[in-house]
Structure formats: structure tokens, C-alpha cells
Chains A and B, each alone.
Chain A
């Protein structure tokens, strides 16, 4: 398995590689346009040439048409609707509202609360998850008996549906008779109110995310670890580095692009967190708990749009989320540049 070791993280560079490779193969195929068409008749050769020119566009057309119609155009329309007053009860009367939806949003404590929750849940679900995933990948990278079985087992949570996993965790975290509090009681710790307490409920929601995604990320790290040339370890061992030092000075630096990639993907996932908190809350799901303690931005948008029936405001929330993601992406790009320079 080759690794340009530039995991998708550096999409920019992989796109450069992309254009390079098309140019290369283009050069290799330079003859293509001037290939020898089966020219028994001129219209056939014309047809053939037309086929050569048009077919690439025909192949990418389905993707761009469907994607454009159902993602790109709606994206712009969402911006349009966010400047209008659109109510679920009267969909047809859309009146111009200017920036009112946005000013309402920024005046609302629930928006800032949701933003804060999205951030904290994002951090406590991503950071431990990725650290554990690296450790897990490191262990899976040893020569194991039945290595494939281990990998499949670690990935099982990923194949569990979000709703099913959440419903199970709701029961496990039940404050009165749940497995978790029962186990805490065994070791002499007071029961935690996983539903109502701020950090308790956020931790419980995060644990669902951690459970479902740790194995998945471990496999991504494992793939990157296996692409690290063995002689790096050999020379480190010759220099007298013990296992921990090898891990610290060979494995981790070589994984850097992959770590960046998983951080980006997890961040995108964290900003969109919706299903887990919704179902964790049960009846008060869209509120994210009685005190909105785990109402994320995605949940807040659904709550405002389809429970309170204010679609214009929901559109404004969606665009705010997008802007936040773009800011994160920009920061990420800066960090990547820095790292590259540092190398």
C-alpha cells in the first residue's frame, strides 16, 4: 500500500497531485486526440471525435446535476430564505426580513448556548476519541493472532445505527436504574444525574459519539502506521530509542497528516451533531434537555424550524453554521501551512 502519506487532509495538495496526474497521463496519452479512428466514413470519425470530447462531461454530469440541484442550489436558497420571514404555518407568504433573522439569532441566549454546547461536546467527544484511537491503532499494528477479527470487532460500533446506539445508551445512562450508575455505586461513587446535570449529560452524549467512531478512526490510523517504512524504526532502534521513544519520535510525526485529516473530519461531524442529542433527550429531545444543556446547533436549527415553525430563522442558523465551519477551515489551512514550513 503506497502512501503518499498525504492523507486527504491536505486536499489542496492532493488536488495538485490530481491535476499533475491528469497532465501526466495526458502526456502519456498525447496521441489520444489524434488516435486512429476507424475512419471508413467521415461522419463516423466525426462521431468518434465528438464522443471523445463529450464523454468526460457526460460521465461527470449526473454527479454535478444531482449535486447542484439538491445541495448547491439549496445552499444559495437557504441564504435567500434566511433573509425572509418564512413560517411553517404559512409557507406561501414569504416576506422580506433583511437581517432580522440574524439579529434575533445573535440576541438569543439559546443560540450562544447551542454554540457553546456544540463546542464543548465536540471537544470532549473528539479529543479523547482520537487519542484512544491512536493507542488502539498502535496495538492493532503489532503482529496479532486473528488480526482481522480484532479489526472487525473494533469497527462493529460504526455499523450500529445511530438511533439504536443512542437508545441503548439512554438506558445505560438512566439516572435511577441504569447500568452506569449501578456500576459507579459498586465502586462507591455517588450516582450522577446523566439527564439533568450539565457536564453529566454532555459527557453521556459524547460517549455515544466516542463509542461509535473510535474504532473507525483507529483503522484510519492503522492504515497510516502500516505505511511507515520499517527502516525508520530500525534506525531509531539502532540509535537506542526504546519502544515509547520510537512511538513518540517516529510514529506520531509520520502520522501528522492523518491526524490532521481525522481532526478535520471529526470537527465537521461535531458541528453537525444531531441524532445523538435528539434521541438522548427523549420527549424533550429537540430542546436538548430541560435546561437546553446539550442542545447542539443542529438540534437548535431543527427545533426553531420544525417545532417552533420558523423556517427563516432555521435557514439563518444553517448559514451561521456554515460560516463557523469556513472559519475553522481557514484556521486549519493556516496551521497546515505553518506545519509545512516548520518541516
Chain B
């Protein structure tokens, strides 16, 4: 079983460079080298993946009038900073980004912490109904978020919490997927003997968690944190119901932009760029780990 730390930089970076005779665990499928057709096809996919983003920047650097002409612009204009400024200030993207960073960070910390605790209990501790409760946890992944929003909205109105950030933070503070993900990781990454040893020394459960579980879970916590941040950033349905233009998250602000709040396509593109930029930066920094995390979550079961 490859651990996430194996999947991250060192290992994957070496992949495809190691001697062909070495049977690597990752990529043990086929040792065939890619031919030119594969490279061309991949390059085509790469262009399709990146082109819309590149074009966002091009459109954001133009004017509304230029975007209305055919053919559409294929290169940068000189209007980028003016449009970014308009989007940041007038369309409220600035405060929306701070809000979203705050919301997504709280959700990430909560999800990682609670998922690690619950995942540890499910992976390594014996208690009554543990397998039933785990099954329940997995089953809840099927429940669509739509099923909670009507009551949540009514409670929110009762509490007078409309338009306040805790309303969008609280319901998403835990995740069934996260709990299951951590359990799958800890089952194999945390040697039971370590816990035993700490127990024999008379360590309390909290000490075991702090000194044994957290260090062992760290790589998976990082990956789960990244995945959760992306999910929280993209959360759409509940924030749109709970918040309005006064105090929006990025998605809410972009929704207002898209429905004619500022009828200027180049500003809308600048807003879209701002609204996805922090995610892309995080992705550039930790892309490898996110890739490793998704592949990790896929194979274990």
C-alpha cells in the first residue's frame, strides 16, 4: 500500500524516469513508453483544460465593446487592471474573497479535525455498533444537500442569522467523505502496536491522539484539507439561499455578477478570474498532493 507521502513529490516525480526493469508499485500497469500519438492527444486535452482559463484572462483584459465583436479576441488587451479594480470594488469581489477564505478555512479546519478523530475511532478502536455506524456514515454520502435547505432556512430566519457567515460554516463543518477517507488511511498507516505501546505507558486517549494519531495522519490530513478547501470554495446552493449581496461568498457575488449586476462582460470575466484565482494558486502550489489524494481515495475501498 502506497502511503500518501509516497505518492507525493519524490515518488511521482521519479515515475517515468526510473529504470524500466524496476517494478514500481505506482504505474506497474504497463511499462510501455508513450508514442507520439499519445503525446499529441494529451497535448490536445491539455489545451482544452487550460484554454478556457487562459481566455478568461484575455477577456478580462479587454473592453466590453471589444468582446461584442467577432472574431473574439485571441490576445491580451491593456484593460486588465482597470477591470480587476472594478470587479474588486464595485462588484464586491474583494470582500467576497475575504469572506470565502474565512468560510473555507473554518470548514477545512473543522472537517480535517473531526474527520481525523472519527476516522481514527473507526479504524483502530473497538466499540459497540462501530460497523453499523460506519455503514451509516457511508450511506449518508448519498443524501443530497437539497434535502436540508428548507428547514435550515427556516431555522436561520428564527435565529436571525440570515446573511451571517456562521450560517454557511456550521452545516458543512463535518463530512462523511472525510471521515471515511481518514479511516481508510489510518487503517493501514497507523500501526496498532504504537497505540498499544502508548496505552501500556498509561497514556490517556487524548495523549494518544495528540502524540500518535495526528503525526501518523498528517499526510492524509493535508490532502483532505486541500480537497475540502476546494469543495467549500465551490459550495453553491446553501450560500446562495443563506447570503445575499450584502455579505456574499465568491459564488454568491459571481451569481449576482452573472445576472446583470454589472452589465459588462469584461468586468464579469475579471470577477470570474478573481473568484477562481486563490484556488488556482493553491492548486499550483499543491497540485501534486491533490492529484495524489484523488488517486489515493480512488483505489482504497
Contacts and interface: CB of A to CB of B under 8 A. Distances in A.
A168 B241 CA distance: 23
Interface string A110-124: 000000000000000
Q: Interface range on chain A: under 10, 10 to 19, 20 to 34, or 35 or more?
A: 35 or more
A60 B131 CA distance: 13
B131 A318 contact: no
A91 B152 CA distance: 13
A74 B126 CA distance: 30
Interface residues of B, number: 134
Interface string A143-181: 111111011111111111111111111111000111100
Contacts of B130: 19, 22, 56
Nearest to A211: B52
A268 B144 contact: yes
A182 B70 contact: yes
Interface in A288-312: 298, 301-302, 305-306, 311
Interface stretch (A7-15, A193-201, A335-343): A7-15
A11 B68 CA distance: 50
Interface string B112-131: 01110110111111110011
Contacts of B179: 63
A51 B291 contact: no
B272 A163 contact: yes
B263 to A, nearest CB: 10
B21 interface: no
B102 interface: no
Interface in A254-272: 257-258, 261, 268, 271-272
Nearest to B208: A55
Interface string A133-150: 000100111111111101
A142 B30 contact: yes
B27 to A, nearest CB: 5
Interface in B32-69: 32-35, 38-39, 41-42, 45-46, 48-50, 52-53, 55-56, 59, 67-69
B291 A219 contact: yes
A32 B255 contact: no
A54 to B, nearest CB: 8
Interface string A82-106: 0000100001000000000000000
A114 B48 CA distance: 30
B33 A219 contact: no
A318 B149 CA distance: 9
Nearest to A13: B301
B258 A62 contact: no
Contacts of A220: 294-295, 298
B16 A70 contact: no
Contacts of A11: 135, 138-139
A143 B33 contact: yes
B254 A152 contact: no
Contacts of B45: 136, 154
A241 interface: no
Contacts of B291: 148, 151-152, 155, 219
23 contacts: A1-B299, A32-B196, A37-B202, A55-B121, A60-B121, A73-B151, A86-B154, A141-B29, A146-B16, A159-B290, A163-B251, A163-B275, A164-B276, A166-B258, A168-B59, A172-B52, A221-B298, A222-B295, A257-B301, A271-B144, A272-B237, A298-B237, A322-B144
Closest 7 CB pairs of A and B: A19-B131, A55-B205, A163-B254, A142-B34, A223-B295, A38-B202, A74-B148
Given A147-B16, A166-B258, A321-B147, 6 more contacts: A2-B299, A29-B196, A60-B117, A161-B276, A282-B259, A329-B142
Interface of A: 1-11, 14-15, 17-19, 21-22, 25-26, 28-29, 31-32, 35-38, 48, 51-53, 55-60, 62-64, 66-67, 70-75, 77-78, 81, 86, 91, 136, 139-148, 150-172, 176-179, 182, 211, 215-216, 219-230, 233, 257-258, 261, 268, 271-272, 274-275, 278-279, 282-283, 285, 298, 301-302, 305-306, 311, 314-315, 317-319, 321-322, 325, 329
Interface of B: 1-2, 7, 12-13, 15-16, 20, 23, 25-35, 38-39, 41-42, 45-46, 48-50, 52-53, 55-56, 59, 67-72, 113-115, 117-118, 120-127, 130-131, 133-135, 137-154, 157, 170-174, 176, 179-180, 183, 187, 192, 196, 199-200, 202, 204-205, 209, 230, 233-234, 236-237, 240-241, 250-251, 254-255, 257-260, 265, 268-269, 271-273, 275-276, 279-280, 282-283, 287-288, 290-291, 294-301
